[in-house]
Amino acid sequence: MSEIVWQKRQFGHRARLELTPAQTLLIDAQAHAARATWNLLHDFWTMTPKCRRSLKAADAAIRQARKDVDWLAVLPAQAAQAVLKTYFQAWKNCWDGRAGEPDFKARFRTVMSVDIPQGRDLNIVRVHRRWGTVQIPKIGRVRFRWTKNLPVGKRANQENRITGARLVKEALGWHIAFRIQLLEPKPEPHEGPEVGIDCGVNIPLALSDENHHDHGRPARLPDGTSDRDKWLNPNEKAKLLRLEQRAAHRKSFRKPGQRTSNRLKRTYDQIAGLRATAKRRATDWQHQTTTEIARAYGVIVVEQLDIPNMVKSAKGTVEEPGKNVAQKSGLNRSISQEAWGRTMTMLTYKTSRHGGTLHKVPAPGTSLRCSACGFTTPGSRKDQATFVCKNPDCGWSGNADWNAARYILHLYRIGLVTIPAAGRAVVRRLHDVNPTIAR
């Protein structure tokens, strides 16, 4: 009998809050105070000479500001310290080359949030099968939707506990994101088969064994244009169209430099709510699909995609205008809607949790090379859906995304994988095997 190896896992869990109107106003005030604290801290840091900048001086400035300004004091002291810690971490990320310089947070372009750094202040209690309550500093007890067994009460200890939380406001209301730490047994190595996965537009996730995963929502309308609202039902699409027309009509009366009217803001909020509903449906499908794949396969092989480069505009310049700009714009919208990056992130951590491994192979040529003979023949990829090998000795035909998935798995089997190193992808052969195309 093998010895159990324990490992510490840290992850987040988001739940919807059920707030009263009074509680909503209080949390909104805290979020605005947190944003203002960040902006005041940014002004203090950028206007102070370098010789006088220090963490101690910034902390003293925040404490003094909370004493002098009453509406800043609605933010709990620990949340204000969390703003200070986040701001300094942002500068460290900038100095290390991982991000740009911290900037001013605008009122209407910033996600409203409040941090609760210590988990012991939450005092979570489950009161019903569907609901629980959490203690929020200076707000009181708030109900939240219980969808996951949290380490609270008798289940909580030094190794299994909630270390903190963050309140986040979205288009669908306020949510609480718990930071959870668990001590779990390390999963046994997954003995499942190998599979190559190609992320496509016609087939969202094409697998090399033909066990494709499709959400049943076509990316194209009957007239050939991209359907940017495919996750909404017909009634919701009609409502979204009416709201967009209403917003455009009301916006036409606004003069340059004039503030947005409350009516227009409410219309924008309704549009954002429908967009958020569509995103939640897409994310739910991604979660269910990636979990199913991680449970079924031991080795998962995907492409090393450079998505920002893939969705660049084809408009070009005045001197050298691009070609097929409208078609490329539709393809870019379809790629962005599929959210391939989010799918890869989910596959990465879920594969590790189930004992499997995820590998990435070079992306260039996977959609143009035949998975049966290994040759790239001009004209084989006629459109987005069909692949017909023009090699006279081959003639293989099938779905283009399935062909790419088969070739992706072949690249892994010959040991051609990418390993990130110093900000770039290094291609290495990990093992020598028979370089025969997988059939």
Whether 202 is covered by a domain: the verdict is yes
Whether the Cβ atoms of residue 9 and residue 181 lie closer than 8 Å to each other: yes
**Per the structure, how many domains does the chain have?**
2
Q: In this model, does residue 372 exceed pLDDT 70?
A: yes
Domain ranges, residue 100: 6-51+59-185
pLDDT given for residue 51 in this prediction: 86
Q: Encoding tokens for residue 168? A: 């986040």
Asked if residue 242 belongs to a domain, the reply is no
Q: What is the pLDDT of residues 275-309, one digit of tens each?
A: 999 999 999 999 999 999 999 999 999 988 877 77
Whether 262 is in a domain gets the answer no
- For residues 222-247, average pLDDT: 84
Angle at Cα 11 formed by Cα 91 and Cα 34, nearest 5°?
Answer: 45
Phi, psi of 292 (to 5 degrees): -65, -40
Higher pLDDT, 310 or 31: 31
d(C-alpha 302, C-alpha 323), whole Å: 30
Question: Are 418 and 406 spatial neighbours (Cβ–Cβ below 8 Å)?
Answer: no
Tens-digit pLDDT profile for residues 63-111 = 999 999 999 999 999 999 999 999 999 999 999 998 889 999 988 788 9
In this predicted structure, what is the pLDDT of residue 435? 43
Q: What is the DSSP string of 129-157?
A: SSEEEEEETTTEEEEEE--S--S-GGG--
- My answer on whether 302 and 379 are in the same domain is yes
Residues 38 and 154 in one domain: yes
> Per-residue pLDDT for 318 more than 90?
no
425 pLDDT higher than 60: no
pLDDT at 352 over 50: yes
Question: Which of 44, 75, 47 is CA-nearest to residue 59?
Answer: 44
- 418: helix, strand or coil: strand
Residues 139 and 202 in one domain: no
Q: Is residue 176 part of a domain?
A: yes
Average pLDDT for 227-234:
84
Of the listed ranges 18-27, 169-178, 381-390, the one predicted with least confidence: 381-390
Asked if 216 and 96 sit in the same domain, the reply is: no
Domain boundary among 185, 207, 238: 185
Q: Which of 137-151, 211-225, 387-401, 419-433 has the lowest mean pLDDT?
A: 419-433
Residue with the two structure tokens 């000795």: 393
Token output for 117: 């750094």
Could you tell me the pLDDT band of residue 424, with boundaries at 50, 70 and 90? very low
Residue 132 lies in a domain: yes
Cα 439 to Cα 434: distance, rounded to the nearest angstrom = 13
Secondary structure of residue 110 in the 3-state scheme: coil
Task: Compute the distance between CA of residue 138 and CA of residue 136 in angstroms, rounded to an integer.
Answer: 6
Contacts 24+ apart (CB under 8 A), 64-69: 65/37, 65/40
Q: Quick one: 65 and 210 in the same domain? A: no
Same domain, 140 and 209: no
Looking at the structure, do residues 322 and 293 belong to the same domain, yes or no? yes
Helix (H) or strand (E) holding 362: strand 357-362
The bridge status of strand 386-388 relative to strand 397-399 is antiparallel
Residue 274 has a pLDDT of 94
Rounded Cα distance between 181 and 274, Å, is: 33
Looking at the structure, do residues 166 and 222 belong to the same domain, yes or no?
A: no
Give dist(CA 240, CA 244) in Å, integer: 6
| pTM (predicted TM-score) | 0.84
* Mean pLDDT computed over 169-193: 91
Q: Which of 185, 206, 238 is the last residue of a domain?
A: 185
Question: Is residue 425 located within the same domain as residue 372?
Answer: yes
Does residue 86 fall inside a structural domain?
A: yes
Residue 249 counted as domain residue:
no
| pLDDT value for 432 | 42
- Comparing 351 with 415, the larger pLDDT belongs to 351
Residue 375 clears pLDDT 70, i.e. is over it: yes
Q: Which residues pair with 300 in a beta bridge?
A: 195, 358
pLDDT at 264 over 80: yes
Of 124, 156, 185, the domain-final residue: 185
> Within this chain, do residues 166 and 306 fall inside the same structural domain, yes or no?
no
- Is residue 174 included in any domain, yes or no? yes
Q: Is the pLDDT of residue 433 over 60?
A: no
Per-residue pLDDT at 398: 81
Instruction: Assign residue 363 the CATH number of its domain.
Output: 3.30.420
Look at the block and give the residue holding tokens 């995907």. Answer: 302
Q: State whether 288 and 329 are in the same domain.
A: yes
Q: How far apart are CA 101 and CA 175, in angstroms?
A: 28
| pLDDT for the residue 237 | 92
169 and 297 co-located in one domain? no
